[in-house]
Amino acid sequence: MIISIIAAVAKNGVIGKANDLPWRLPDDMKYFMETTSGHHVIMGRKNYESLPPKFRPLPNRTNIVITRQQNFHADGCKVIHDLNEGVTLAKQNQEKELFIIGGAEIYQLALAQTDQLYLTEIDAEIVGDTYFPYWNKSEWKEISRKHHQADQKHNYAFDFVIYKRK
């Protein structure tokens, strides 16, 4: 099973602000939905709670929420308390590619066992309070890049980039 991280990241590493996205990029949201659809996704509790209620759980996915809270309940989701528990669950369900969808603490936990990174690299320095963890680019090979210009719906240019661990 492939373990992948998917995230949108500004030039300065920002991925969030006040438990929300600090940008509006509809084509990135569409890319996220299409890429993760039909797969298991692991997210932290705060990330889950930041989703608009109409998108909880994320449709067409097996939603796995990781939390330290022993009594936490999320309708339509599997609640776990350890990342490896989520990885095991996905393997048992014959998942081909598991997606780690955030937030920062969950990305940090998963990075060492991640095979691929799906990063939307936003061509801007954006103010925020949550950052993608450090990753050593020399350990990864870029396997695809697709550019998206800024336009009426997107204030920033960005690239959809996939990296595979060497």
Instruction: Kindly report, residue by residue over 126-141, the tens digit of the pLDDT.
Output: 999 999 999 999 999 9
Longest dimension (CA), the chain: 45
> What is residue 63's predicted lDDT score, i.e. its pLDDT?
98
Which residues lie below 8 Å from residue 102, measured CB to CB, with a gap of 6+? 7, 15, 16, 43, 44, 47
Under the banding of pLDDT at 50, 70 and 90, the label for residue 150 is very high
> What is residue 111's predicted lDDT score, i.e. its pLDDT?
98
Task: Classify the phi-psi angles of 115: left when phi > 0, otherwise alpha if psi is within -120 to 50, otherwise beta.
Answer: alpha
> What is residue 140's predicted lDDT score, i.e. its pLDDT?
98
What is the total residue count of the chain?
A: 166
Domains of the chain: residue spans and CATH: 2-152 (3.40.430.10)
Q: What pTM was estimated for this model as a whole?
A: 0.97
76 touches 98 (CB < 8 A): no
Average pLDDT over residues 85-93: 97
